[in-house]
Structure 1
Amino acid sequence: MNAGNPPGLDLERLRAHLDRERAGLVHGPLSAELIEGGRSNLTYTVSDGVSRWVVRRPPLGHVLATAHDMGREHRVISALHPTRVPVPEPVLLCEDASVIGSPFYVMEFVDGTPYRTAEQLTAIGPERTRGVVLSLVDTLVALHSVDPAEVGLGDFGRPAGFLERQLRRWGKQLTASRSRDLPGIDELHTRLGKALPVSPAPTVVHGDYRLDNVLVGADDRIKAILDWEMSTLGDPLTDLGLIVMYSSHPALPGSVISSTSGAPGHPGTDELVRRYAEGSGRDVSGVAWYTAFAYFKLAVILEGIHYRFTLGQTVGAGFDRIGDIVPGFIDHGLTTLQES
């Protein structure tokens, strides 16, 4: 680990805060490193030489309204930790921006593998690959089976009108980050709005559920779901649509967007949808709309990251290629919606 301060994290101030709030937790000088792979909030591994933790904070610079809410992330993992949904144990939330320059939270370090590429899965063989991907679906079923009210999340979102509000919200996010012409994205947004499905009963939704947002253990089961920044109460099929989207296309050349669908043994999207339907008991006949919405949402997220890159406000490698792949996600969204 780097003994100095990584971008966005002052270790001396972090140590002082931990000593005040959790006396005895830290036993030596802190070192830290930025975990690569995240596209939005910044994630660091922090160690005192004996124990390890993870620190999450918003990105440097451009922060859209309602995004990057550390309190929400901390709240949802705190609520889910006692359930059978695998999440890291929360350690501390700090909403005082004066400590490190932004709100942040600390959670336990979970040892596991985030599979981001087909090559990583190919290395473990088709049988294990199949098990890992099916475990991803089964874990989503477990998340969607949690009664929000029973775990203190009854007011975590406003499920009524969820899809309409989501479309409006992501349209606003697009406007806030629009710095160039994106052919087709307004058409996709409009067509999604004209074909809104009727949502099933609401659940806790993750909002960015995919294989590289979970940690997989040596037994090929999910050990922790990460990156809860877009979680809320709403339509559970939005999470399923994301899985289908990420499993529908091979990795794009030069892309920093994960895709594992090309690995031998990776279940097809039809099997993944059936697995979810059997485990959850939900009607999944309208999954194409949710998949198209997932393409739209990811296009908006990527455009926001591209915008921050143009302002010099991203940290890490690969951000220079984000802007080039946004049009492909718009086209896939339009095609998927047309096929539905």
Structure 2
Amino acid sequence: MVQDTIPMRSGEELNIKKLEMFLHANLKSLPEGNLVVRQFGTGHSNLTYVLTIGEWEAVLRRPPLGPVAEKAHDMEREFKVLSSLHPVFPVAPKPIIYSDDMTIIGSTFFIMERRLGVVLDTEFPEGTTDLVMMARKVSELMVDQLVALHAVDYKKTALTGMVKPDGFMERQVRGWISRYDKAKTSDIKEVNELTTWLIEHIPQSSESTIIHYDYKLNNAMFSKEYEEMVGLFDWEMTTVGDPLADVGVALSYWMHVDDPTMMLYGLGEPPITVKEGFYSRQEFIARYAEKSGRDVSNIHYYLTFAYFKLAVICQQIYYRYYNGQTKDTRFAHMGDFSKVLIKQAFKSTEK
């Protein structure tokens, strides 16, 4: 049995019979046997499943249940992003097939290859030794892989027809403020001053690169001894834009032990980055600057915006729960977490 998955959650089941028929009709050389489906239990957005027929395995991604924010959870776009990236950035999994046939599982979906390795969330796997050294290795890999992604020439990929790099930060800041307004469920006093500051201090981007834009440890997969990253997932937000925006997002997830308690525990147990040996945010920034050669003197703006962007994402999730569009109780406190992130972003403007 696959150890990193759970049985399908109630209400999130797939139609196994229809899906099995689709697979056999569209994929060659599938082995004999019945389709078995299990679900990844982590994640708060798209739903992800492991499909198994005999020795064959793959991963299916679909949008969350209920109404979703405009332009969010676009499975076709993520499939196209992976199709463009996998040949030039192999840590991105190979996409297999996309379907917009709503009669199969009730939504659009795509299937990609299954990668095997270690995903870190709140703890190292039991039995891991030299934890401090491993924490340093993982920190280095995370920074170096981000630098490597930003070094890929997007103009040599199909992404050129999918993106508009010019004016990236301006669109991002105004777009995420608009998304927040549409998902608002209560008034937070810091919001107006924070959003005004974000608009008034938008940096002039000097270059554009491919950015993952949801770059965090539990979206990465490592080899058993942490010698390399063997997979990077959740490419839904990927685009071409200011690489420092990607660094800001990574830093917003890279939490410190002295961060506000609600930030640390807002999504459950604190992330593993609070443990001894993991880079501080300052070390992360310094290594990125050294390896990439980029000027990071204005990184506090990008971190501030990243906190706000993450707050909006959490607020959008809470909005769906608040309005009864999902009954997943994990989302009940997302509104509180969004408020904490707003306050953290506001505090960050003072630097």
TM-score normalised per structure 2: 0.90
Does 2:323 align with 1:305?
no
1:212 to 207, 218, 223: 218
CA distance 1:94–1:27, change in 2 (3 Å):
same
What's 2:266 paired with?
Answer: 255
Range that drifts further, 289-298 or 179-188? 179-188
Letter in 2 for 1:15: E
Whether the 8 Å CA contact 2:321–2:328 is kept in 1: the answer is no
1:63 to 65, 68, 84: 68
Shift of 1:205: 1.0
Shift of 1:23: 3.2
* Unaligned runs of at least 5 residues, structure 2: 1-5
Q: For the residues of structure 1 that align with 2:339 and 2:8, how far apart are their CA atoms?
A: 40
Letter in 2 for 1:327: K
Does 2:305 align with 1:293?
yes
Does 2:80 align with 1:75?
yes
Shift of 1:292: 0.2
What's 2:180 paired with?
Answer: 174
Whether the 8 Å CA contact 2:98–2:110 is kept in 1: the answer is yes
What's 2:253 paired with?
Answer: 246
Letter in 2 for 1:227: D
CA distance 1:101–1:210, change in 2 (3 Å):
same
Does 2:119 align with 1:114?
yes
What's 1:266 paired with?
Answer: 278
Range that drifts further, 321-330 or 256-265? 256-265
1:235 to 238, 242, 251: 242
1:104 to 87, 100, 109: 109
Shift of 1:238: 0.9
Q: For the residues of structure 2 that align with 1:120 and 1:335, how far apart are their CA atoms?
A: 35
Q: For the residues of structure 2 that align with 1:34 and 1:3, how far apart are their CA atoms?
A: 5
Shift of 1:29: 1.1
CA distance 1:73–1:3, change in 2 (3 Å):
closer
DSSP 3-state at the match of 2:60: strand
Total equivalences in the alignment: 339
Whether the 8 Å CA contact 1:2–1:31 is kept in 2: the answer is no
Q: For the residues of structure 2 that align with 1:236 and 1:121, how far apart are their CA atoms?
A: 35
CA distance 1:318–1:4, change in 2 (3 Å):
closer
CA distance 1:259–1:28, change in 2 (3 Å):
same
DSSP 3-state at the match of 2:103: coil
DSSP 3-state at the match of 1:338: coil
Q: For the residues of structure 2 that align with 1:126 and 1:4, how far apart are their CA atoms?
A: 36
Shift of 1:215: 1.2
Identity %: 36
CA distance 1:206–1:99, change in 2 (3 Å):
same
What's 2:162 paired with?
Answer: 156
Range that drifts further, 201-210 or 93-102? 93-102
What's 2:3 paired with?
Answer: none
CA distance 1:4–1:63, change in 2 (3 Å):
closer
Range that drifts further, 226-235 or 307-316? 307-316
What's 1:196 paired with?
Answer: 202
What's 2:289 paired with?
Answer: 277
Deviations 1:12-38 (A, max 9, x none): 111111122113335321121221221
Q: For the residues of structure 1 that align with 2:214 and 2:78, how far apart are their CA atoms?
A: 13
What's 1:88 paired with?
Answer: 93
Shift of 1:259: 2.5
Does 2:56 align with 1:38?
no
Q: For the residues of structure 2 that align with 1:185 and 1:31, how far apart are their CA atoms?
A: 46
Deviations 1:41-66 (A, max 9, x none): 11111111322211000110121111
Whether the 8 Å CA contact 1:45–1:53 is kept in 2: the answer is yes
Aligned CA-pair RMSD: 2.3
Range that drifts further, 10-19 or 282-291? 10-19
Q: For the residues of structure 2 that align with 1:17 and 1:128, how far apart are their CA atoms?
A: 42
Whether the 8 Å CA contact 2:221–2:231 is kept in 1: the answer is yes
Q: For the residues of structure 1 that align with 2:51 and 2:252, how far apart are their CA atoms?
A: 33
Whether the 8 Å CA contact 1:122–1:264 is kept in 2: the answer is no
TM-score normalised per structure 1: 0.92
Whether the 8 Å CA contact 2:211–2:238 is kept in 1: the answer is yes
* Unaligned runs of at least 5 residues, structure 1: none
